[in-house]
Structure 1
């Protein structure tokens, strides 16, 4: 069971902090429910297990990402950058939760498999969208797979860097790196190149959805 749309960010943050401070094995669901001010049954219904609540906020972020991708008509490279930054800003905007989760993951190795699964979910969302947003061609599937995997990898590297120095804001650097990888992969696997600085002109007309500017992305 995963947390539903009504999951309170405060409960999620408080639960992760409690698990990190008291210890994974030492903290019971009853204690989490008590801290959240709900019954054990309500906690299970709204937030699921201890493992579920550690990653509960990602469900809402994935929905926001899917909505962004569904409504855009910009070129794939630009949207990829926007999507990566949307996910990254979620971590920075919920600083205490992100830091508490990082501390917990360092204590509890078994949670890292769930972290990897969550990361793959973002990759699948990007890949599914790119498969329809990129123009038809012999390398579309390969390019969609490469772009989605690389985007998530660059995001995760930036997040790890921020976790080591949470007083910084590497958003601009992440934007530039995502732009460079999009330019490189599109130039290598697509039918055209990007702009000289990797920020403007990343996707020329033949790399935009439906083959031209203003095409509707799925």
Structure 2
């Protein structure tokens, strides 16, 4: 896929807002170029098509993500869970730092179903960047490729869920919660695959290798002893 040229923030945001307000079909490239104060030929040369400019900032954002992960991978004793957390946070903060653009793009995507395919392709590109990093950063075991695939997909899914929540309530800032949940997810998945480096520093090695167990308590009145007894009965 051809990379989208980088556009200046004002032109990108203004163009997306114009497309959302005036309608996808009704807004021509000539109108976008006029609003940007440039010729039609210059608009095409710098920004490409209408679809290209809607996602123009992601090319630069993907590059920043790759650079962050490369720095992390080169650091001695780097923790993949921490690097994944910081990578997801970098992408999420980009939307929060460009609030008007993110809201305008979300409004446009809700109006134009055909743009959702491009959005999905963009998500897959972030996923592939994370997956490439994890394939080299995770402990070298037969399950590494599978874990990298699962973890990168899960991290992008969690990011997108938090992004949708923020778009519904843009005056909030769930960055800290997203960061904590992403790192927790990474450590749980790595531990589930039996990698000893999954737990935070200071936790005994034996505990790191324990399988993840999820217990759902259906009786809110049950006390700790009752829950433990039920678990013991289930394991017999």
Partner in structure 2 of residue 47 of structure 1: 47
1:148 corresponds to: 152
Q: What's the TM-score once normalised by structure 1's chain length?
A: 0.87
Please report the TM-score for the alignment, with normalisation by the length of structure 2: 0.81
Question: Tell me, what secondary structure is at the counterpart of 2:113?
Answer: coil
Which residue of 2 is the match for residue 26 of structure 1? 26
Shift of 1:2: 4.5
Query: Is 1:193–1:203's contact at 8 Å kept on the other side of the alignment?
Result: no
User: What is the distance in 1 between the residues matched to 2:203 and 2:163?
Assistant: 26
Q: 1:1-218, aligned counterparts within 5 Å?
A: 2-5=3-6, 7-72=7-72, 73=75, 74-192=78-196, 194-195=198-199, 200-201=200-201
Mapped partners of 2:195, 2:126: distance in 1? 26
RMSD: 1.8
- How big is the shift at 1:203? 10
1:44/1:61 Cα in 2 relative to 1: closer, same or farther (>3 Å)?
same
Equivalent residues of 1:183, 1:202 under 8 A apart: no
Unaligned runs of 5+ in 2: 206-236
Gaps of 5+ in 1: 206-218
Tell me by how many angstroms 1:4 deviates. 2.4
Q: Would the aligned equivalents of 2:80 and 2:134 in 1 still touch at CA under 8 Å?
A: yes
Tell me which moved more, 186-195 or 50-59. 186-195
